[in-house]
């Protein structure tokens, strides 16, 4: 199965060249499901927090993108209540040549540097744009409550 070979190669690449602040743990009995986490950067509104998510690879990977679902609550304009993250590379910008370590890099960047553009949560995005101190206070509060 091509998908499985590609996934094994991707895992080997990530193990050989780990991404700082990101951990990846494939399910023992199913390499198509990875438990991942991101430790927020020190310059992030979420510093001190570790955010867990599940990366699920479709049977026809790499021709279809993985799906990502955060299991740790996060006050973020690009991540909704269900844990979905708004990243174009996981939607309409997907290409089979994109490596999973690139995907993890993009997710890490998105988590650490929230942007009000292309939001899943318009209210949070508006707050980030119009009342940044309030946004930062709530982000910090949620990080302490859910991600410490």
Domain ranges (residues) in the chain: 2-147
Residue among 17, 54, 56 nearest 38 (CA): 54
Beta bridge partners of residue 25, listed in sequence order: 35
Active site residues: 86
Closest CA to 84 of 96, 93, 76: 76
What is the pTM assigned to this prediction? 0.95
The answer on pLDDT for 119 being more than 80 is: yes
pLDDT at 109 over 90: yes
Model pLDDT, residue 42: 96
Identify the residue with better confidence: 95 or 118: 95
**Domain 2-147 = CATH 3.40.50.970:** no
pLDDT given for residue 27 in this prediction: 96
46-100: pLDDT as tens digits:
999 999 999 999 999 999 999 999 999 999 999 999 999 999 999 999 999 999 9
With a cut of 80, say whether residue 1 has pLDDT above it.
no
Q: How many Å apart are CA 87 and CA 19, to the nearest integer?
A: 19
CA 14, CA 37: separation in Å to the nearest integer?
14
**Residue 143: exposure state from Cβ atoms within 10 A (0-12, 13-18, ≥19):** buried
For the chain, what is the mean pLDDT?
Answer: 96
Q: What is the pLDDT of residue 118?
A: 81
- The pLDDT value recorded for residue 57 is 97
Q: Which residues of 87-97 are buried (b: 16+ CB within 10 A; e: fewer)?
A: bebbeeebeee
Which pLDDT score, from 0 to 100, does residue 77 have?
98
* Rounded average pLDDT over 99-111: 97
The answer on pLDDT for 2 being more than 90 is: no
């Amino acid at each position: 199965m091509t998908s499985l070979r590609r996934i094994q190669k991707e895992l080997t690449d990530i193990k050989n060249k780990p991404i700082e602040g990101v951990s990846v743990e494939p399910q023992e009995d199913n390499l198509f499901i990875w438990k991942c986490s991101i430790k927020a950067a020190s310059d992030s509104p979420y510093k001190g927090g570790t955010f867990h998510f599940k990366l699920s690879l479709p049977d026809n990977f790499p021709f279809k993108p993985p799906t990502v679902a955060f299991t740790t609550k996060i006050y973020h304009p690009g991540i909704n209540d269900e844990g979905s993250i708004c990243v174009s590379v996981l939607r309409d910008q997907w290409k089979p040549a994109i490596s999973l370590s690139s995907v993890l890099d993009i997710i890490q960047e998105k988590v650490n540097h929230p942007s009000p553009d292309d939001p899943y949560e318009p209210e949070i995005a508006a707050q980030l744009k119009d009342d940044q101190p309030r946004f930062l206070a709530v982000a910090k509060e949620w990080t302490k409550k859910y991600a410490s």
